[in-house]
């Protein structure tokens, strides 16, 4: 079984090459699109960093009337 860091390195390499297929540990994974690969890359980076997901910004509005 490969680690998340190894998977991340492989997927980054494939994205850089524009490839939709990755070979790792005797297995082949074919992705549908580069967007799918980027999404998986982002998820792996969150797993490695320990983050639960992207930060959520909540805008506030003010009419400027006092």
DSSP 8-state secondary structure symbol assigned to residue 4: H
> In the chain, where are the structural domains located?
4-49
Assigned token pair, 14: 């494939």
The angle subtended at Cα 32 by Cα 12 and Cα 42, nearest 5°, is 35
pLDDT per residue rounded down to tens, the chain (66 residues): 468 889 999 999 999 999 999 998 899 999 999 999 999 999 999 888 886 656 667 777 777 776
d(CA 63, CA 31): 47
């Amino acid at each position: 079984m490969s680690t998340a860091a190894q998977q991340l390195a492989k997927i980054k390499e494939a994205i850089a090459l524009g490839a939709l297929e990755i070979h790792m540990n005797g297995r082949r994974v074919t992705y549908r699109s580069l967007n799918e690969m980027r999404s998986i890359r982002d998820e792996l980076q969150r797993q490695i960093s320990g983050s639960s997901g992207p930060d959520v910004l909540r805008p506030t509005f003010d009419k400027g009337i006092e």
